[in-house]
Structure 1
């Protein structure tokens, strides 16, 4: 029997680079996956796709109800959905600030609010995908940095609130991971980033996904932590 047979996970941003890898790794262990995507995916063969705007509370609640109707339970929530709208503060619009905060931080809260009772009942796991930028900050990313730092505060507070109910909540802070989001960056930006990483390579989505699996399957006494996975970028 596979380790996660009979378990159900919701993964937001399931069609993206890291999200897709998380779906693959968890489904290989027998976990049923409900993938919440903003737009339809080109390949959702190993998960059940729901088209959901995580900033829309009613849409989130209705989608979670649909997951429960289909699968009968929810054991794990991986808040992975995220966007960037980078700019210097002088040029950053209020709309770009609101959009990133609402998707990356409020969207995660909406997902937690809609699933928390079910997760507590099943002594489940919440994993919030933050970023090293949420710990260190970055020029031109005040909105993204604030949203990812907010996820860390959310993680720690939830862990304190629900630890006594055996609901574990942790955050993962990836560094530079090879995804469609990072592919858009200029070669110069990539070169500078690579020089900061002691391992002299970028991370792979599968490496983040394996950490998600570890926290779910083996990290049974890990709670309220931020696990950095950056190849030694922020040493």
Structure 2
């Protein structure tokens, strides 16, 4: 008899963790208006925390904060800021302190992505992604670290698995996320003696996100050519569950780590599109490519 492959369930953090483990805590999250970061914010709020979400699009932030507050019964406030501009993050941190009086947890999640070969990638496009992901992470740490020291809190940085191997058309994101991983490691070493922890989450291809839309050419349920030991794409809940764990007292001795949340896909990863034909003839994947910003 032939057995069917295992297909991992999708669990919600409230089925595992107590609902009050973050009572009285405050989360500061860049990129929290949508996608993975919004999902992580919701899960952390469901366990008792209040939150501030930061981004450039105030309309999106306002709607997201309203939804998060209604779903969780906690307070979420939107603050418009650009992670590339340190002064706006400093102002966001100061406003958070005025409103809540503390910052316990920080998610560095602002990111940008698109597909482009190096030969078609402008210097400005490469620089923009580095500024959002890498410099934005640095700026967020700088703006919040005095407050996180005071609460002996923790950082979670959102990275990726793209730079573990060479990923065609992703040189900008690969370089940016490698920098994010390095920043987290240094924060862990420098700030550990002050009681601050720092870890990285590296989601795999995650359903229902902008990154998945970009990588799959708008086909968010595309599975052909995809292999995963646990049988499916990453879900936002999967990443949120790990964020809850990393901020929880259960992870009090975990710092300076990078945790891929990809169902083991990286061990089997091939190319997301045909290789080498897609590199020799970029026109074959033209719909996915954006050469300049």
What TM-score do you get using the length of structure 1 for normalisation? 0.95
What TM-score do you get using the length of structure 2 for normalisation? 0.76
**Which residue is equivalent to 2:211?**
181
Asked if 1 retains the 8 angstrom alpha-carbon contact of 2:213 and 2:220, the reply is: no
**Distance in 2, Cα, partners of 1:78 & 1:188:** 25
Q: 2:232 aligns with which of 201, 213, 231?
A: 201
Per-residue deviation at 1:43?
Answer: 2.7
1:1-235 matched pairs, under 5 angstroms: 2-40=20-58, 41=60, 42-45=63-66, 46=69, 47-178=76-207, 179-184=209-214, 185-186=216-217, 187=219, 190-191=222-223, 195-217=226-248, 218-235=250-267
**Distance in 2, Cα, partners of 1:17 & 1:122:** 27
Report Cα offsets for 1:56-108 as digits up to 9, x if no partner.
Answer: 11111111111111110101100011110321000000111011000011001
**Distance in 2, Cα, partners of 1:161 & 1:140:** 34
Per-residue deviation at 1:188?
Answer: 10
How many correspondences in the alignment?
234
Instruction: Could you tell me which runs of 5 or more consecutive residues in structure 1 were left unpaired when the two chains were aligned.
Output: none
Asked if 1 retains the 8 angstrom alpha-carbon contact of 2:205 and 2:211, the reply is: no
**Distance in 2, Cα, partners of 1:53 & 1:226:** 25
Instruction: Could you tell me which runs of 5 or more consecutive residues in structure 2 were left unpaired when the two chains were aligned.
Output: 1-18, 70-75, 268-293
**Distance in 1, Cα, partners of 2:262 & 2:90:** 34
